[in-house]
Structure 1
Amino acid sequence: MTPANQCPVPAAHKRLMDCHAMWHSLANSYMQPDTFRMHLNSLIQGLRNVTFVLQKQKRELPHFETWYTEFQEQARHSPLMRWSVNSRNRIVKESDLELHSEAKIRWVADWLTKGERNFTFPPRMASREMLGAIFSDPGNPRVGIVTLSRRWVDKALPDYEILHATREVYIALGRLLTTAHEACRVESCTFETREPPCVTSRLTRDPLRCMEINPGALQEHIDLNAGAGIQEIIRPIPRDEKATQKARKRYGITELGKGDAMELTPKIMQAARTVLVRDKKHANFAWFLRGDDILDVMSPMYADQNAKYLTFHRLADRVETLRADGFIYLAETWYVTDHKYDENGKLMPARDRGRDRMEALQVFGATRDGRHITLTAPFSRNRFGKVVFGETLTDSDMDDMNYFGSFGPIIERWKAMDARGED
């Protein structure tokens, strides 16, 4: 048995940390083709070296043949792991990978009208030129939101973007080394932190939050209605324990406790009602979960409906990066009790209904395995501005626009992750 906190596979562990650092170097050079190619070659070889050096220690590792054989069997059935091995052989023995620079175009007119296409462009082609080429076709849309995402893709793995593909291989190797540590009954070990500071010796079976596979820096958003770009701004807010305690005292709210998205949704609604009564307003919040663990919390803000469409696609990007299997969204919204249609027979959203609409708090919860619920709490304000709630309504059938509209991008992303076998 290896002593506690003494790494049982130091050489392989350090190589995995090398790969973490190299992945970030790869991401940071995305717009520099030659530098990107250089870092990719190093990373592919580094990933393969993790298993090479691990096998050198097999006589020292308990039950090696059992758990390593299981890893090999899974790798043989994984297109990504086969690609990684074959790519290393190509790089070492033949030539560089055959990379293509793509522009992925996503167009969203409304919640139900959208589409995606991939175009191949030279790596250094300016975004303005790409968009000019795309919209020179009169058949392409002229309204809604267009998102242009730059992507490097290997000809041998056309369905995966390179950052995504290499991250998936890294995750598989991280799980392998976690298994090696568990076999030796070592819960953790410590090596010096690298640059960037996220490169630590911590092992996990889950994706690392720092490995963002849909970075905003590689996306551009254009509002076709306004003829202008939409700037995406993300402001990280570190947890402030003093502010948290102050807020709990103000609202009389304790910890939400543990639970998946379905279990936390009613608790969040109860807390939100308390906040709204106290403050007369409530910010939007999104929670990302894996099982009972909250991975991240965001407070999305958007100026208009087109920006809202974009926001929910970016939330879906975050779900994919974190590989979240639970999602909760809280917002103030407009609410109506019936349906009305305009002169063209199109359903009128509550926001356009005028005097017969009501204010409401709404919390939507969904899980990757298909469970979902919407809680809606209509409210009014009396002459003194006091918030008065009606009965909270529960809709678990999800036959409304919430499931197929606003939250459709998250549901669709889960389906895509399932199709790729990403657990």
Structure 2
Amino acid sequence: MSAAYMEPDSFRMHLNSLIQGLRNVTFMVQKQKADLAGYEEWYTKFVHDVTPKPLMRWAVKSRNRIVKESDLELLSEARIRWVANWVAKEERRFTFPPRMSSHQMLAAIFSDPGNPRVGVVTVSRRWVDKALPDYELLHATREIFIELSRLLHAGHAAAGVTLCAMDKREPDCVTPDINVHPLGCMDINSGLRQKHVDLGDGFGISEVEHCITREEQQVKKANQRYGSFSVTASGPIEAAPQLMESARMVLRKDKYHMPMVCSYRDGKIVDMISPNFFDQNGKYLTFHRLADRVETLRADGIVLVIEAWWAPDDKRDAQGLVIPPRDREDRQEVLHVAAATRAGERFSLLTPFSRGESGEIVFGETISGPDEELGVFGPFLPIFERWKQMDERDER
């Protein structure tokens, strides 16, 4: 479905096939129940858990409709997200003909003189079913896949089996390991389906991704350059002090520290990236895309390590707007490690530093506390909002 997203007929064909395949999972399990250990216990629990869920009811109804009546009634949407700063944000939805390009959508949307003229705008292509208007279809079918994976995981666990008896599959993320989390290749927020425009200069913002494979030789070189360190904590809040110590080692040696974000799920790091942005609009976009990434990964924790400007209090301009630290004369350079969890935990570490005459880094005393007390949680607001949306949909 993902590969055919921009091809309406092919997308519909794969969607129909997938929905029937997902429904067949429960049919096959029911057919073989006499041979399945503990069937009544774990299958009854599955039915009890999923029956109230609108997505699962939609899956059953959609399968019946596809088999007995006709195709689903698909709508091609564009979701427009406009971001002016960390707080000012607006989202709208528009319906367009299925074969209309993203550029044509943008032209139609911005022909309205009342649209915003500052900040950054993202246009996301979305396929939705008329009977399920609040879910994009890759997202909807992924959630159903996860529920069925939990069913199969419970069945395997009851039988004392850890792996499924299957051979190598394509793509590589499909393995014999029955997991209760989404497959790594199930990206429901792909950059390929999004366009970004900086309203300040009118130019598009392109996303470029470089994947780096861990190599032990490079790890050895890093240890020789910076010294040995490791992150042993089992969650983002506990990891923050360890990451601050490693950040100090890097900054002392290199005189700068690239931004780094670690995403956690169930106490383990599931993703590490080093986001780069060249201006403030790019920064706004980056953290909204990080929220997309958190949703795709089902991450329940996140840690940010970054060099930043910081000021200890709020100062406001003549219009009553907060003056950001980057625009203040009393600003300080700091190493900032911010950690947060979906459960509501927040923690920040700030280490002020200065640069000596010969370029050496001179560290001040580290201060710590909840993000709100230090006034540095702005970049995480898109992630907090996304976690709230996931909670409202009961996506666990």
Task: Give the aligned residue type for 2:54.
Answer: P
SS in 2 for 1:185: coil
Q: 1:380 maps to what in 2?
A: 354
Residue 254 (structure 1) shift = 2.6
Question: Is the 8 Å Cα contact of residues 378 and 389 (structure 1) preserved in structure 2?
Answer: yes
The answer to whether the Cα contact below 8 Å between 1:402 and 1:408 also exists between their aligned partners in 2 is no
CA contact (8 A) 2:338 2:371 kept: no
Range moving further from structure 2, 248-257 or 406-415:
248-257
Is residue 330–residue 363 contact of structure 1 (8 Å, CA) maintained in 2? yes
Q: Which amino acid aligns with 1:367?
A: T
Cα gap change, 1:105/1:385 in structure 2, threshold over 3 Å: closer, same or farther? same
Q: Which amino acid aligns with 2:182?
A: P
1:363 aligns with 2:347: no
TM-score, normalised relative to structure 1: 0.91
8 A Cα contact 2:162 2:177, kept in partner: no
Secondary structure of the corresponding residue to residue 347 of structure 1: coil
Partners of 2:304 and 2:337 within 8 A in 1 = yes
Shift of 1:74: 1.4
Shift of 1:358: 1.7
Aligned partner of 1:419: which letter? E
Amino acid at match of 2:361: V
> What is the one-letter code of the residue matched to 2:379?
S
1:57 matched to which residue of 2? 32
Trace 1:201-240 onto structure 2 (pairs within 5 A): 201-240=176-215
Q: Tell me the CA shift for residue 353 of structure 1.
A: 1.5
Structure 1 residues 401 and 135, CA, compared in 2 at 3 Å: closer, same or farther? farther
Offset of residue 253 of structure 1 = 2.7
Q: CA separation in 2, counterparts of 1:251 and 1:95?
A: 63
In the alignment, the residues of structure 1 paired with residue 366 and residue 311 of structure 2 have an alpha-carbon distance, to the nearest angstrom, of 14
Q: Tell me whether 1:85 sits opposite 2:63 in the alignment.
A: no
Unpaired segments ≥5 residues, structure 2: none
Q: Corresponding residue for 1:180?
A: 155
Deviation at 1:397, TM superposition (A): 5.3
Relative contact order, higher structure (CA 8 A, sep 6+): 1
- Residue 410 of structure 1 corresponds to 383
CA contact (8 A) 1:153 1:162 kept: yes
Equivalents in 1 of 2:229, 2:242: separation in Å? 10
Say which SS state the counterpart of residue 265 (structure 1) adopts.
helix
Give CA deviations for 1:368-410 in whole Å, capped at 9, x if unaligned.
010101111000111111101001111315156533x211000
Counterpart of 1:31? 6
1:281 aligns with 2:256: yes
Distance 1:176 1:417 in 2: 21
Q: Does residue 1:337 correspond to 2:337, yes or no?
A: no
Deviations 1:189-248, CA, capped at 9 Å, x for gaps:
342222223222221011222100000000000001111100001111111122112212
- Name which of structure 1's ranges 224-233 and 237-246 shifts more when overlaid on structure 2: 237-246
2:226 equivalent to 1:251: yes
1:252 deviation in Å? 2.0
2:112 is the counterpart of 1:150: no
SS in 1 for 2:26: helix
Superimposed CA distance per residue, residues 342-382 of structure 1 (whole angstroms, 9 cap, x where no aligned partner): 3333221111124x222110011000010101111000111
The alpha-carbon deviation at position 278 of structure 1 amounts to 1.5
Give the unaligned 5+ runs of structure 1: 1-25
Q: What is the RMSD of the two structures over their aligned residues, measured on CA atoms? A: 1.3
Q: Residues 258 and 375 from structure 1, CA distance in 2 versus in 1: closer, same or farther, beyond 3 angstroms? A: closer
Q: State how many pairs are aligned.
A: 396
**AA at the equivalent of 1:384:** S
Amino acid at match of 1:140: N
2:2 alignment partner, SS class: helix
Give the letter aligned to residue 93 of structure 2: N
Give the letter for the 2:394 counterpart: G
Distance in 2, matches of 1:399 and 1:115, equals 27
Equivalent position amino acid for 1:161 in 2: E
- Residue aligning to 1:160: 135
The one-letter code of the counterpart of 2:372 is M
Deviating beyond 6 angstroms after TM superposition, the runs of 4 or more aligned structure 1 residues are none
* Residue 367 of structure 2 is aligned to residue 393 of structure 1: yes
Aligned counterpart, 1:298? 273
Aligned residue for 1:100, secondary structure, equals strand
Q: Is the 8 A contact 1:108 1:144 kept in 2?
A: yes
Q: Secondary structure at the match of 1:103?
A: strand
Q: Which residue of 2 aligns with 1:70?
A: 45
Deviation, 1:147, is: 0.1
Code of the residue aligned with 1:373 in structure 2: it is F
- Of stretches 34-43 and 134-143 in structure 1, the one that deviates more from structure 2 is 134-143
Q: Percent identity?
A: 56
Amino acid at match of 1:396: P
Residue identity opposite 2:307 in structure 1: E
* Distance in 2 (alpha carbons) for counterparts of 1:209 and 1:67: 26
Q: 1:402 to 1:240 in 2, by over 3 A?
A: same
The Cα offsets for residues 127-160 of structure 1, whole Å up to 9 and x where unpaired, read as 2221222222222111110000000001111111
| Aligned counterparts of 2:161 and 2:177: Cα–Cα separation in 1 | 12
Q: Is 2:173–2:183's contact at 8 Å kept on the other side of the alignment?
A: no
Q: Which amino acid aligns with 2:354?
A: S
**Aligned equivalents of 1:351, 1:60: Cα separation in 2:** 66
**What amino acid does structure 2 have at the position aligned with 1:420?**
R
Report the Cα offset of residue 49 of structure 1.
0.7
The residue type paired with residue 381 of structure 2 is: G
Aligned mate of 1:126, from 88, 94, 101: 101
The one-letter code of the counterpart of 2:79 is: K
- Aligned-partner SS, 2:263: strand
